[in-house]
Amino acid sequence: MVQSGLERLIQDDFRPLRGLRIGLICNPTSVNRGLDHLADLMAARDDLRLVRLFGPEHGVRGAAQDMIAVENQGRDERTRCPVVSLYGDRVASLTPSDADLDGLDALVFDVQDVGTRYYTYLWTMALAMKAAGRKGLAFVVLDRPNPIGGELVEGPLVEPGFESFVGLHPLPVRHGMTAGEVAGWLLGEQGISVELRVVEMVGWRRQMRFQATGIPWVPPSPNMPTPDTALVYPGQCLLEGTELSEGRGTTRPFEIFGAPYVDPYALKERLIAEQLPGVRYRPLYFTPTFHKFAGQSCGGVMLHVIEPDVFRPFETGVAIVKAVHDLWPDDFAFRQKAYEFVTDVPAFDLLCGGASIRHGLLSGRTLRALRDGWQAQASAFERVRARYLRYA
């Protein structure tokens, strides 16, 4: 059984936080094994000084959909603490201001990540670390498992000029690290200066699937309902950079995908021909209730991961985009609208961290040639990453 950083803090009777004025970055995942929320636990104690709550994308209580600005919400109904949104309607809202940090001694980060560079919570952490450092605050990470494991690294790094809130620093798509390990890498490699304290887990091993940890899965965002979603997300989030439905508005977002023009059986056969490991494809039709193609019948496929240890989600996601583009070139389109506050770089390029994969897809490069390019970057990153790993 794994003890999260939060559970170790509770076991230590919150001793490291006593006497400090605390700002807490949290969301619905900030719970112990009994599903008690950290903000509620802290607010109930007379020997702790919880001053302010900070909400990442989707908010402190997790009610907002993706890329929906959350305004500062006054006071949290449960704890009566003031709430600061770190995901508003402009870039500046992503970073705590000096005024937001006034009267604090430390920022505590306790948010479940999903092991994929696109997921914005690690970048909320990075920006908050920078702000805390400038203000002279300590930054405390309560570490949690990487739900898709801590061994495999896959996908390209972020190139200069392609930084965004889905990749502020050169991290691979599937980084194989915990939030506490990424925090150490940010200090050691990316020039962030702050007094960092990581409350490590006990019992977590890098090869663990989330289900083996004994920690309850709380959806970290509205469209991340299960650990199965997290496993496919490193590839399927690429569909956000296209006009394909990534399955939002269905019961299995990111596992289901498609569009009105897609022939499910032709797509299945094309994907089978790529001989990708660990995954099977089920043709289907679906009608999203919201988001892309809401109310329209779509043809598509559902991914069934049968061997998680050999499944390569990023490669699978690129293969899907390539297959749909090649089969229906007149219908397929990359997203042209603004994405995560960026208007002048295609969303697909922001997700990939560069333009080379999109250009390769458009020019007909093979999946193997594309993979060789990004895997060289991932292998180079692994050598640097080794210095910051905390768990066996």
Residue range 215-268, pLDDT digits in tens = 999 999 999 999 999 999 999 999 999 999 999 999 999 999 999 999 999 999
Predicted TM-score of the model (pTM): 0.95
Which one of 218, 238, 269 terminates a domain? 218
Same domain, 124 and 144: yes
The CATH number linked to 73 is 3.40.50.12170
Residue 158 is assigned to a structural domain of this protein: yes
Same domain, 47 and 184: yes
Residue 386 is assigned to a structural domain of this protein: no
Residue 303 is assigned to a structural domain of this protein: yes
Residue 387 is assigned to a structural domain of this protein: no
The whole-number pLDDT of residue 74 equals 79
| Enclosing domain of residue 26 | 5-218
Same domain, 58 and 151: yes
Number of domains in the chain: 2
Same domain, 243 and 106: no
Residue 50 is assigned to a structural domain of this protein: yes
Same domain, 207 and 252: no
Label each residue of the chain as H, E or C.
CCECHHHHHHHCCCHHHCCCEEEEEECCCCECCCCCEHHHHHHCCCCCEEEEEEECCCCCCCCCCCCCCCCCCCECCCCCCEEEECCCCCHHHHCCCHHHHCCCCEEEEECCCCCECCCCHHHHHHHHHHHHHHHCCEEEEECCCCCCCCCCCECCCCCCCCCECCECCCCCCECCCCHHHHHHHHHHHCCCCCEEEEECCECCCCCCCHHHHCCCCCCCCCCCCCHHHHHHHHHHHHHHHECCECCCCCCCECCEEEECCCCHHHHHHHHHHCCCCCEEEEEEEECCCCCCCCCCCEEEEEEEECCCCCCCHHHHHHHHHHHHHHHCCCCCCECCCCECCECCCCHHHHHHCCCHHHHHHHHCCCHHHHHHHHHHHHHHHHHHHHHHCCCC
Same domain, 209 and 79: yes
On the question of pLDDT at 30 being above 60, the answer is yes
Task: Give 372's pLDDT tier (boundaries 50, 70, 90).
Answer: very high
Same domain, 214 and 293: no
Residue 392 is assigned to a structural domain of this protein: no
Same domain, 103 and 121: yes
The whole-number pLDDT of residue 62 equals 60
Residue 390 is assigned to a structural domain of this protein: no
Residue 167 is assigned to a structural domain of this protein: yes
